Chains A and B, each alone.
Chain A
């Protein structure tokens, strides 16, 4: 109880509350702007939060993450262009409802369902994270190796065109993580006699390049795309009667979203699509779906925001990111000198409660911002691309440079921007690469330690039951496409 009070008192300082609300505002803004996304905004924010205290910095990013998921639904509903991938499913019924003359109602349903989904997942987070951390305390390097391999294998099921390409991206990320001086032997690896590479490639310019600069190149292809706009004068909260009718949809989607969020690598997009499908499957008015069904909005919105809270569980308890955005939050934690995982939760539980508090405030924050700013956010999506993206590039350049005052990092950012653009074009997602980069050190360290313990006998790992469980899960996640095909045929 003392930890809860300490954690909440940390977050309830006026400076921290303002930063959280700032994070919420940025989150809703980037969510509402098509092309900009929460991972991109977090990547751009990391270098500027490095001077803040860790609680404030992580709280701000967590708030941005929660709000960004909701922000994406604003443009999904008003212009049928999801501001962020998790809002894809919301557009299916949100846009028709808005077209039917009820944009405020659609936004209200999305906001309240998001808040309820978010709160549900935070309750799970506050109980599950410490429990998981306690279990993880028993983990040795072998178990961590098994877990990291399982997390990497889950990249195969991450949203994107191809599981195979996601896995390749993940491995390339791990490989990039090996650049620099090898800690055990002091040997330089892949430095090509470039002194700037001796300490390895910094996360920040890679993240900014892959998420922001590559998107700039993508946007340069569609500079004159026109969209139909629907003006929302105000956000209209759903009535108690409406909420009563939606309670099972919201509850089901919240549970589903939280569970999907907890799975390593599975993010809000998968949760939203499954939330929508489940809402439709259980609905008594299936024919209403696609024409502006309230369940079609509440289902995916509750699920995608619940996944945001769920994804924080493995991130903080195990140090394994639950999604692309949490991979960036994990990178920020590492930069602030933390080693996310069971020790973080068991030794500084107040930190976890502070994050919980921040995300709780963020959930109410975006409801409030949505209520007062619906009209503004419906206009913000129309900022001309030709002005918006040069501004993003300037932020990207300053962010990459300011982290270590190095022009080399700016070149890395541009290089990864170009690479990210071509990767995306050919079906290789950037998010698995980032997750691989962040997990890379854990994979190599735990692999080396396991090999030393077992005298280079890989099969000795199979004597550990938890490792066997992780290997079985890895096998199942890699073979999921084959299983699903067999089930579909039958």
Chain B
């Protein structure tokens, strides 16, 4: 009984978040110890590590309260878990991975192809199958983007793969 009462003090997800934040704090604290130290005269008594260390301590102190915060929020009628009750969907994770692949390959593909590929892959992956909408979008939107940004605003677009075809 006592154990379950003690357990209910902690919010499981928030405890994991707090541990995660503490791990980052430890890592960054360790990194501040590697900062070069300059003479006090040059640093005017404030070393480069002073301010980041103050911030890390402040963040750490506040993070200590996170696992118990749900108790205070409950009193004021807020539910911290309401936005995360549903698991992160497969579509969201897959979208993250697709965008990662798009960016990773963009240097090789070049801007023009990357824009076109993005316009095809994401709507298609998200389930858009209406070709009447999809086709004009895939053709016209990249053209409009290239016209506005490349030709009017003068943004430099890496040619990437197109360069080889051109050669």
Contacts and interface: CB of A to CB of B under 8 A. Distances in A.
Interface of A: 48, 51, 161-162, 164-165, 167-168, 171-172, 174-175, 178, 182, 184-190, 192, 213, 216-217, 220-221, 223-224, 384-387, 389-391, 393-394, 397-398, 402, 405, 407, 410-411, 414, 417-418, 421, 424-427, 444, 447-448, 451-452, 455-456, 481, 485
Given A187-B35, A188-B36, A217-B95, A175 B52 contact: yes
B103 A384 contact: no
Nearest to A452: B44
Given A175-B52, A190-B28, 12 more contacts: A48-B153, A165-B66, A185-B43, A386-B126, A390-B122, A394-B119, A397-B114, A411-B103, A421-B92, A426-B17, A447-B51, A452-B45
Interface residues of B, number: 69
Contacts of B154: 51
Nearest to A403: B155
Interface of B: 13-14, 17, 21, 28, 31-32, 35-36, 38, 42-49, 51-52, 55-56, 58-59, 62-63, 65-66, 69, 72-73, 75-76, 78, 80, 83-84, 86, 88-89, 91-92, 95-96, 99-100, 103, 106-107, 111, 114-115, 118-119, 122-123, 126-128, 133-134, 137, 141, 145, 149, 153-156
Contacts of B21: 168
Contact of A217 (B32, B84, B92): B92
A425 B149 CA distance: 34
Nearest to B39: A185
Nearest to B37: A187
Contact of A223 (B76, B86, B91, B134): B91
16 contacts: A162-B78, A164-B62, A168-B63, A175-B28, A178-B55, A185-B38, A187-B38, A188-B35, A190-B28, A387-B137, A389-B122, A393-B118, A402-B155, A402-B156, A414-B100, A448-B46
Contact of B106 (A174, A220, A410): A410
A168 B60 CA distance: 9
B155 A162 contact: no
A186 B37 CA distance: 10
Contacts, number: 163
A127 B56 CA distance: 40
Given A223-B127, A386-B123, A451-B46, A164 B55 contact: no
A223 B124 CA distance: 12
Contacts of B119: 390-391, 394
A172 B24 CA distance: 11
A384 B48 contact: no
Contacts of B51: 178, 444, 447-448
A451 B103 CA distance: 44
A387 B46 contact: no
A417 B96 CA distance: 9
Nearest to A172: B59
B99 to A, nearest CB: 6
B106 A168 contact: no
Contact of B84 (A162, A164, A213, A425): A425
A469 B91 CA distance: 51
A174 B55 contact: yes
Contacts of B99: 213, 393, 414, 417
A320 B76 CA distance: 30
A444 B21 CA distance: 22
B119 to A, nearest CB: 6
Contacts of A391: 119, 141
A190 B154 CA distance: 34
A162 B45 contact: no
A409 B96 CA distance: 17
B59 A387 contact: no
A356 B147 CA distance: 33
B91 A189 contact: no
Contacts of A165: 66, 69
A187 B48 contact: yes
B69 A162 contact: yes
A456 B46 CA distance: 8
B76 A481 contact: yes
Which 4 A-B pairs give the minimum distances between C-beta atoms?
A187-B48, A390-B122, A182-B48, A386-B128
A407 B106 CA distance: 9
